[in-house]
């Protein structure tokens, strides 16, 4: 070990399960399903970095075994180079899938280590601190209008001033009046002074609607001053996205299921999005997220990270929000145990509905081992340095 080289000794994963929030999927997530895993990178300096992966924990554990020969002994102070090494040497095993998801968590953890080793918040290392607080939007599933009002009233009372409603019955009942009633109920509940976004969730299995539905729906949403229309079309329908963006009455958002920076290039060059939404816990980590965000900047496309994940994903998004010039929102799942229930100091809104961006070293947050253990039988390995 030296000041210039901190070696990776081991990387372990802990699947989260027991209170997995519903996703609104047609094949609904059950509480004991694993769709997120936490990652810890242990080093010979005694510094541990933490990351988060948006996929099944068993897949993450398998991917770590495959990647192990590539990362063991590597310099944990060089996240972009190490992550690129993992990407470059695994293309033939299915790039963009489980391995890319797992590399995402490793990359986030390596940035966490770099920040801790240098005693600096990641935002500074990623380019500088543009802001020290940012507005979280409370992300919740759509429900029937009466239930939608109850849910949103609860989170508005907690202090949120921006909201996204998504999935659920919207667009799936082929009932335009129901869709409008849900959005109307939402707008009336959150008030005209709150931002409101709508997510169709067309990456769901067997999405039933096409371009004409999306165009018509965009005009309905405009009447309620909706800030963006997210995933209104199947996630590979790039031609339809381009046409929808031309005809839509509201901004069009998407990109959460795309992985690797390269897959975003055509969507940006062709003008498919007003708002691009990569997920740091899937796309390849902070290293890829930052490159995508800057590429979007060159094309006049707004970057808002997709954050339907964990407290570590929120922490990564907050540091990126500090380090990029035009980020004014981060996604925050309403009422998720994996966001609210695993930190020593949970995130807290200020009086104006903003989150402070942590200025402590690395990701700036601290996991609580006892809390994490409630949701993961493998939690202890995250916090235990391997024997020499």
Band of the pLDDT at 271, cuts 50, 70, 90? very high
What pLDDT score was predicted for residue 386?
A: 84
What pLDDT score was predicted for residue 94?
A: 82
Q: Are residues 240 and 102 in the same domain?
A: no
CATH code: domain of residue 64: 3.30.390.10
Structure confidence by residue, pLDDT tens digits, 283-326: 999 999 999 999 999 999 999 999 999 999 999 999 999 999 99
User: Does residue 3 register a pLDDT over 80?
Assistant: no
CATH code: domain of residue 234: 3.20.20.120
Mean pLDDT of 62-81: 98
- H-assigned helices in the chain: 57-71, 79-88, 98-118, 122-125, 145-157, 176-190, 211-222, 238-247, 265-269, 286-298, 311-323, 337-340, 369-375, 380-383
What pLDDT score was predicted for residue 298?
A: 96
User: How far are the Cα atoms of 22, 23, 238 from residue 31, in angstroms, in the given order?
Assistant: 8, 11, 33
Residue 1 in any domain: the answer is no
Q: Which residue has the higher pLDDT, 145 or 24?
A: 145
Residue 68 in any domain: the answer is yes
What pLDDT score was predicted for residue 62?
A: 97
User: Does residue 203 register a pLDDT over 70?
Assistant: yes
User: Does residue 209 register a pLDDT over 80?
Assistant: yes
Which residue range is the domain that position 77 belongs to? 8-119+368-383
- Which element (helix H / strand E) includes 133? strand 133-141
Mean pLDDT of 238-266: 97
Residues 6+ apart with CB under 8 A from 233: 202, 207, 209, 210, 211, 214, 240, 241, 244, 254
Q: Are residues 112 and 128 in the same domain?
A: no
Q: Are residues 102 and 131 in the same domain?
A: no
Residue 27 in any domain: the answer is yes
Q: Are residues 331 and 222 in the same domain?
A: yes
- Residue 191 sits at φ, ψ, to 5 deg, of 85, 160
Place of tokens 């199947």: 234
Q: Are residues 69 and 83 in the same domain?
A: yes
Band of the pLDDT at 70, cuts 50, 70, 90? very high
Q: Which residue has the higher pLDDT, 1 or 109?
A: 109
Residue 2 in any domain: the answer is no
Q: Are residues 315 and 205 in the same domain?
A: yes
Band of the pLDDT at 1, cuts 50, 70, 90? low
Q: Are residues 191 and 113 in the same domain?
A: no
Residue 197 in any domain: the answer is yes
Q: Are residues 113 and 22 in the same domain?
A: yes
Asked whether the beta carbons of 142 and 167 are under 8 A apart, the reply is yes
User: Does residue 63 register a pLDDT over 80?
Assistant: yes
Number of structural domains, the chain?
2
Q: How many helices (H) and strands (E) does the chain have?
A: 14, 12
Q: Which residue has the higher pLDDT, 211 or 23?
A: 211
């Amino acid at each position: 070990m030296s000041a210039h080289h901190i070696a990776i000794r081991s990387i372990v994963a802990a699947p989260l399960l027991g209170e997995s929030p519903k996703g609104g999927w047609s094949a609904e997530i059950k509480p004991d399903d694993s769709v997120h895993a936490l990652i810890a990178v242990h080093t010979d300096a005694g510094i541990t970095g933490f990351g988060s992966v948006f996929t099944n924990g068993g897949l993450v554990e398998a991917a770590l075994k495959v990647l192990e020969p590539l990362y063991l002994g590597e310099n944990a102070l060089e996240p972009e180079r190490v992550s690129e090494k993992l990407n470059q040497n695994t293309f033939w095993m299915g790039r963009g899938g489980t391995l890319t998801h797992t590399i995402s968590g490793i990359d986030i953890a390596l940035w966490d280590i770099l920040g801790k080793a240098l005693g600096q918040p990641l935002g500074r290392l990623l380019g500088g601190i543009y802001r020290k607080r940012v507005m979280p939007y409370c992300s919740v599933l759509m429900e029937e209008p009466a239930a939608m009002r109850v849910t949103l009233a609860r989170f508005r009372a907690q202090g949120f001033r921006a909201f996204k409603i998504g999935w659920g019955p919207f667009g799936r009942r082929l009932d335009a009046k129901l869709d409008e009633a849900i959005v109307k109920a939402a707008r009336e509940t959150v008030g005209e002074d709150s931002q409101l976004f709508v997510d169709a969730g067309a990456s769901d299995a067997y999405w039933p609607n096409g371009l004409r539905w999306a165009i018509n729906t965009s005009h309905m949403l405009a009447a309620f001053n909706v800030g963006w229309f997210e995933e209104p079309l199947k996630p590979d329908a790039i031609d339809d996205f381009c046409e929808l963006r031309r005809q839509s009455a509201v901004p069009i958002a998407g990109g959460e299921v795309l992985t690797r920076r390269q897959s975003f290039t055509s969507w940006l060059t062709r003008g498919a999005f007003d708002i691009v939404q990569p997920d740091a816990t899937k796309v390849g980590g902070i290293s890829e997220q930052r490159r995508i965000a800057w590429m979007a900047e060159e094309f006049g496309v707004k970057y808002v990270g997709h954050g339907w994940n964990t407290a570590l994903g929120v922490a990564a998004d907050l540091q990126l929000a500090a380090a990029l010039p035009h980020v004014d929102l981060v996604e925050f799942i309403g009422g998720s145990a994996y966001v609210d229930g695993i930190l020593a100091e949970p995130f807290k809104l200020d009086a104006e509905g903003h989150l402070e961006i942590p200025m402590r070293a690395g990701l700036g947050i601290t996991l609580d081992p006892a809390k994490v253990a409630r949701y993961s039988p493998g939690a202890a390995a995250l916090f235990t340095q391997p024997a020499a």
